[in-house]
Amino acid sequence: MWLKPEEVLLKNALKLWVTQKSSCYFILQRRRGHGEGGGRLTGRLVGALDAVLDSNARVAPFRILLQVPGSQVYSPIACGELLNGSDVYWAIATGATLEEINQHWDWLEQNLLHTLSVFDNKDDIASFVKGKVKALIAEETSSRLAEQEEEPEKFREALVKFEARFNFPEAEKLVTYYSCCCWKGRVPRQGWLYLSINHLCFYSFFLGKELKLVIPWVDIQKLERTSNVFLTDTIRITTQNKERDFSMFLNLDEVFKIMEQLADVTLRRLLDNEAFDLDPDLQEPSQITKRDLGARAQNEFFRAFFRLPRKEKLRAVVDCSLWTPFSRCHTAGRMFASDSYICFASREDGCCHVVLPLREVVSIEKMEDTSLLPNPIIVSIRSKMAFQFIELKDRENLVEGLLERLKQVHANHPVHYDTSASDEDMTSPVFYSTSLCSGHKFGDLEIVSSQSSEEHEDESSPLHPGPLTSVFQQSGSQSPDSRLVGEAALACCALGTGGWVVTTSREQIKISLWSDHFVEYGRTVCMFRTEKIRKLVAMGIPESLRGKLWLLFSDAVTDLASHPGYYGNLVEESLGRCCLVTEEIERDLHRSLPEHPAFQNETGIAALRRVLTAYAHRNPKIGYCQSMNILTSVLLLYAKEEEAFWLLVAVCERMLPDYFNHRVIGAQVDQSVFEELIKEQLPELAEHMNDLSALASVSLSWFLTLFLNIMPLESAVNVVDCFFYDGIKAIFQLGLAVLEANAEGLCSSKDDGQALMILSRFLDHIKNEDSPGPPIGSHHAFFSDDPEPYPVTDIADLIRDSYEKFGDQSVEQIEHLRCKHRIRVLQGHEDTTKQNVLRVVIPEVSILPEDLEELYDLFKVWKSGKKRELRALSLAQPTAPSLPKREHMMSCYWEQPRPGVLRHDPSRPYAEQYRIDARQFAHLFQLVSPWTCGAHTEILAERTFRLLDDNMDQLMEFKAFVSCLDIMYNGEMNEKIKLLYRLHIPPALTENDRDSQSPLKNPLLSTSRPLVFGKSNGDTVDYQKQLKQMIKDLAKEKDKTEKELPKMSQREFIQFCKTLYSMFHEDPEENDLYQAIATVTTLLLQIGEVGQRSSSSGSCSQECAEDLQTSAPSLEQDCVFVDPGKTPQDSQAFPESAEGDWTVSLEHILASLLTEQSLVNFFEKPLDIKSKLENAKINQYSLKTSEMSHQSQPELKLSNL
């Protein structure tokens, strides 16, 4: 690797370096301790010094120095010793191996050495060489992406070392590297930690011993920071069987965050591709850099904190201060600018944050810079509010980028609004906002889209016009006052100007408080969100404002405004279609809040059907999952139908990511996080309940339904209020509050059933004293026969306690915990899948369960990604990794997936979830198949794949793969011969088979040959009588119940024979096997000829005997294939016209093989699959690396697929 020329001192360096080559201008040196077979003490000490010191020299076992004769720094070198003169040289190249450094030396000799002699000024020589080297570095740097790193020179050097030491394909991109210490018990090993896109690698060379560790990210089951006896802070990596601790004096926080990111990205990319969409910058793993990972972490925090769409990409983060009129000062914080939003978060958690959709922004202007207002800008929004930001660094570029994105947003989603409203109406305390599409108002200011709202309403499907609570009153006696609540909600009554009379004074007080808050903090999606609004939300949002505030807090209002007519079109497209999803929806419609009158008639059911079906049509990846019906029912109670749809979109795609899919990964991850929070916040309860899985079983529904199906509805909607404002944090803290309130009873419970009963009774008796309507109980709650009344808990008190006692968890901490526990959850799913697959396959094969487990791991990793630790104590004898899931994983590591091919489908049966293609199968076949045929093995693998690919989708599942191996290793002789037979007839053997182009167009087989063969002892064996008897016996013994296989043609028989010859190569009984197969082949040729002649004459038995008798015995004619260079008379005995009629059956082949004991012994000898698996552990990496180096070759093509 070329280096930026730098001066080096040689005066004290000769004990560390040995000169290998020298010329007039260049010196090639080797580091002591590298390449010395004797392992002398000096070399070992130097190697130990290299391992301990964090220096540039330690990563360069070979180097080239520039020296200029006659210059001020020239001094001659002979025999590796420095003579008199100056001791300053320039290092221009380093190498990990002698071959690499020799390539650089040859380049210098061929391209520079002769040119340098023409320079008169010796100092110009140094300048010229250094310029050339810098040009080479610049060219190499651009191809290596090293310029993206902070220190390109050092990164290039580390990259060369990484490639040389671990021999990965070039596609295995190095992300970053660190000097660190790996602990084995109490013994540290100083070395280098390399973090690549798929692996964590460690290298150490200490006192002559080399240590390598390779841990694939998908093998990691736990990644945590811990401490050991000597250090208080280490990084612990836990795999299935081992734990490794890594420590470093610097950058521990940075290293751990990068490890988390790489493990998370790799695991989700390879194991959770059902629901995981990678960021665009990370779509190509080979292009991932440390900077990309940092940007991804910041993006995810930004989207989680402000609960924005996943498509939002963060463009800028700058420190600034925002003028907050309610506090009459500037609040310090950070501005986050993305594609469609400007957001602000104060430094003090919970003090203030703001979300400004660019759709709402009217203008962004720079103000005059003053000492009191440094670098200010003003962001004006449509609702006649303005936000002043100051202390913005690089204001010019920031404003330029904001204006460009603002222009783009307005061009994509043009909005026109009605200005005919009077000033009096504009200033009235109502929800006025332009964040609404046609036909929607928050008060008197109406948004008018390019299409007329009236025309749209006339043409669209009949959607329900308002929230269901405004039409359907709750069952039971209703007073006129209670009906006023529905009327007030329907009319969206004006707040704070007299208002409507509500049924309770508490509801009226809440409305008054919210009215005052809107005046001071804003009333649109752009409102200031502070601790005060959180307290108002915790008290419970007024019924008449609930739906509108849910839209604002979730920012679903922006989606609603940006997609006019979208929902109506979805409804029209989706209704009337019948599929599995619609059947599931229909089945659950009448289970959705059946106690509420809104869903006791067709109006509410129809609205629910439309919303769920439209969403399933919008997002088929999610489709429909249970619990979505409960959530959507509640949304419809407080929001219009279209608003409820966009609220559902916000919940499923932003606020609860990965919750609603086949495996509910997101909910299980949050369950795991919840268990850790219980251990931290409620240690006594966690200690009493050693197994928290019982709590997890009941608390899972808390997260999936947001407590809507757990506690009475009028109380649960208050929980939903907090969820829309604070996100999943509200559910975590409320769950902890519920457990804390019942901690005494749970600790005294005798079993899990009693504990669950305690929680169920508590949740069922949570009441909402502020609810204006009669209570509606939870129909899923458990009821006790205890006649004593159970104490009632007010939901407002419970929510307040949850904020006071458990509200200190930040979004950043929750996201960190999610990342940590996602590893465990995904690995748990993989282990479950593995056990289920083995349970299905074990009864059907004879392979031992432990060997099946190894095969499954091997199969899966070559398909999508799991490898265990690779440990090698020397380069000469590397120990390859043990095997989890190699074939599936390696293809996802380094191969580009073919479009339209889904290899991992969690929705399929367990045994069919992971599938491999033909090329991956060929690699596995070479590794584990007992039928090794030399160069013919790959061709046999192709045919095996075609045979096992029943549905011709070019993919094979694990069960078919193992069933085939089971026959090869444990099958009876007739089963093995039958498999070989099927591999040489269609569909396994095709017309375009790679090995079928042998000279078959001319008659190659001589069938007019005797059935008398010479033996080594001079005796002869006559098979003429045996032949007729075998044919008769086979006809009698043939199993009529089994489907008859087609007969084998002459062309197919040649391929069959070739495979048999290849299988016997290098066998200890090779000579006997060749003799036996020659005998059997000639016998089968005669059988085929007999059948051919019998079918043409109509009298098989007579002509068969006559033909056999007319064949002259000749001991010299025991060659099966005729020499194509000769034209013997025998070749005329088999005319081309008869070639298509020559056939032989499976029964003929089997009976003929049974006549030779050596062949019987070969096919019946016991085979050990364990030895094959051990060899696979050693050879799989080298096989994959070799294959990747030849990617330019065309991919394996399957004929007739």
Q: Residue 1105 is encoded by which pair of tokens? A: 């005997």
Per DSSP bridges, beta strands 62-66 and 77-78 are: unpaired
Residue 171 CA to residue 863 CA, distance in Å, equals: 16
- CB neighbours (10 Å) of residue 315? 15
The mean pLDDT of 1034-1054, rounded to a whole number, is: 72
The rounded percent of the chain whose pLDDT value lies above 70 is 69
Is pLDDT at 908 greater than 50 in this prediction?
A: yes
The mean pLDDT of 53-69, rounded to a whole number, is: 65
Q: Give the pLDDT band (50/70/90) at residue 930.
A: very high
Q: Which residue has the tokens 């110009």?
A: 124
Residue with the larger pLDDT of the pair 576 and 74: 576
- Residue-wise over 415-437: b if at least 16 C-beta within 10 A, else e? bebeeeeeeeeeebbbbbbbbbb
Is pLDDT at 237 greater than 60 in this prediction?
A: yes
The mean pLDDT of 906-931, rounded to a whole number, is: 81
Contact (Cβ atoms closer than 8 angstroms) between residue 54 and residue 84 = no
Sign of dihedral through CA atoms 826, 829, 833, 835?
positive
Q: Is 234 helix (H, G, I), strand (E, B) or coil?
A: strand
Q: Give which of 447, 415, 454, 452 is closest to 432, Cα–Cα.
A: 447
Q: Residue 35 is encoded by which pair of tokens? A: 């390449």
Residue 358 CA to residue 614 CA, distance in Å, equals: 27
Is pLDDT at 1142 greater than 80 in this prediction?
A: yes
H or E stretch covering 736: helix 728-741
H or E stretch covering 533: helix 531-539
Residue 246 CA to residue 1064 CA, distance in Å, equals: 50
- Counts of helices then strands in the chain (DSSP H, E): 42, 34
The mean pLDDT of 779-793, rounded to a whole number, is: 60
Per DSSP bridges, beta strands 81-82 and 878-879 are: unpaired
Is pLDDT at 66 greater than 90 in this prediction?
A: no
Q: Tell how far CA 171 is from the center of its chain.
A: 17
H or E stretch covering 1091: helix 1070-1097
Question: Phi/psi at 910 (nearest 5 deg)?
Answer: -55, -45
Q: Give which of 1091, 1063, 1095, 1089 is closest to 1076, Cα–Cα.
A: 1063
Count of all residues that appear for the chain in the document: 1201
pLDDT for 473 equals: 54
Please compute Rg for the chain using Cα positions. Answer: 39
Q: Residue 473 is encoded by which pair of tokens? A: 């009153």
pLDDT for 40 equals: 58
Residue 1107 CA to residue 1089 CA, distance in Å, equals: 9
pLDDT for 829 equals: 85
- Measured CA to CA in angstroms, residue 705 lies from 632, 708, 720, 802, 923 at distances of 10, 5, 10, 18, 47
What tens digit of pLDDT does each residue of 242-278 get? 889 998 877 888 999 999 989 888 887 776 655 555 5
pLDDT for 1176 equals: 79
Any residues with CB less than 8 A from the CB of 1013 and at least 6 apart, and which?
A: 1020, 1021, 1023, 1079, 1082, 1115, 1118
Question: Phi/psi at 683 (nearest 5 deg)?
Answer: -65, -35
Is pLDDT at 1012 greater than 80 in this prediction?
A: no
Is pLDDT at 318 greater than 90 in this prediction?
A: yes
Residue with the larger pLDDT of the pair 141 and 623: 623
Contacts of 389-396 with C-beta under 8 Å, sequence gap 24+, read 389/320, 389/321, 389/322, 389/323, 389/335, 389/344, 390/320, 390/321, 390/323, 390/330, 391/319, 391/320, 391/321, 392/318, 392/320, 392/335, 393/318, 393/319, 394/318, 395/366
Q: Which amino acid is at 734?
A: L
Average pLDDT, rounded, for the chain: 76
Question: Phi/psi at 826 (nearest 5 deg)?
Answer: -65, -40
> Across-strand partners of 182?
189, 246
> Across-strand partners of 329?
324
The mean pLDDT of 753-779, rounded to a whole number, is: 79
Residue 575 CA to residue 463 CA, distance in Å, equals: 13
Q: Give the pLDDT band (50/70/90) at residue 173.
A: confident
Check residue 504 and give left, alpha or beta (phi > 0: left; psi -120 to 50: alpha).
Answer: beta
Cα end-to-end distance, the chain, whole Å? 47
Is pLDDT at 895 greater than 50 in this prediction?
A: yes
Contact (Cβ atoms closer than 8 angstroms) between residue 914 and residue 958 = yes
Residue 187 CA to residue 190 CA, distance in Å, equals: 10
Q: Give the pLDDT band (50/70/90) at residue 124.
A: confident
Contact (Cβ atoms closer than 8 angstroms) between residue 652 and residue 660 = yes
Contact (Cβ atoms closer than 8 angstroms) between residue 616 and residue 268 = no
Half-sphere exposure of 942 (CA within 13 A, CB side): 21
Contact (Cβ atoms closer than 8 angstroms) between residue 930 and residue 1167 = yes
Contact (Cβ atoms closer than 8 angstroms) between residue 585 and residue 624 = yes
The rounded percent of the chain whose pLDDT value lies above 90 is 32
The mean pLDDT of 1070-1095, rounded to a whole number, is: 86
What tens digit of pLDDT does each residue of 945-968 get? 999 998 888 888 888 999 999 999
Residue 426 CA to residue 1132 CA, distance in Å, equals: 105
**Helices 795-806 & 728-741, crossing angle to 10 degrees?**
100
Q: Which amino acid is at 929?
A: S
Residue with the larger pLDDT of the pair 551 and 774: 551
Q: Give which of 886, 894, 887 is closest to 870, Cα–Cα.
A: 886
Contact (Cβ atoms closer than 8 angstroms) between residue 367 and residue 357 = no
pLDDT for 520 equals: 92
Q: Give which of 233, 300, 266, 219 is closest to 814, Cα–Cα.
A: 300
Q: Give the pLDDT band (50/70/90) at residue 1026.
A: low
Is pLDDT at 1043 greater than 60 in this prediction?
A: yes
Is pLDDT at 338 greater than 90 in this prediction?
A: yes
Contact (Cβ atoms closer than 8 angstroms) between residue 887 and residue 920 = yes
Residue 942 CA to residue 945 CA, distance in Å, equals: 5
pLDDT for 696 equals: 75
Residue 616 CA to residue 652 CA, distance in Å, equals: 11
Q: Which residue has the tokens 């798929």?
A: 198
pLDDT for 49 equals: 56
Q: Give which of 119, 126, 41, 124 is closest to 91, Cα–Cα.
A: 126
Half-sphere exposure of 957 (CA within 13 A, CB side): 17
H or E stretch covering 237: strand 234-238
Q: Tell how far CA 403 is from the center of its chain.
A: 36
The mean pLDDT of 33-37, rounded to a whole number, is: 60
Q: In what order do the strands lie in the sheet with 26-31?
A: 2-9, 88-95, 62-66, 26-31, 17-22
Among 282-296, 321-335, 668-682, 1104-1118, the range scoring the smallest mean pLDDT is 1104-1118
Any residues with CB less than 8 A from the CB of 396 and at least 6 apart, and which?
A: none
Burial of 1020 from C-beta contacts in 10 A (0-12 / 13-18 / 19+)? exposed
Residue 710 CA to residue 706 CA, distance in Å, equals: 8
What tens digit of pLDDT does each residue of 611-657 get? 999 999 999 888 898 889 999 999 999 999 999 999 999 999 999 98
Q: Residue 969 is encoded by which pair of tokens? A: 């290793």
Q: Give which of 1152, 935, 1146 is closest to 1061, Cα–Cα.
A: 935
Q: What DSSP letter does each residue of 172-217 carry, written as one string?
A: S-EEEEEEEEEEETTEEEEEEEEEESSEEEEEEEETTEEEEEEEEG
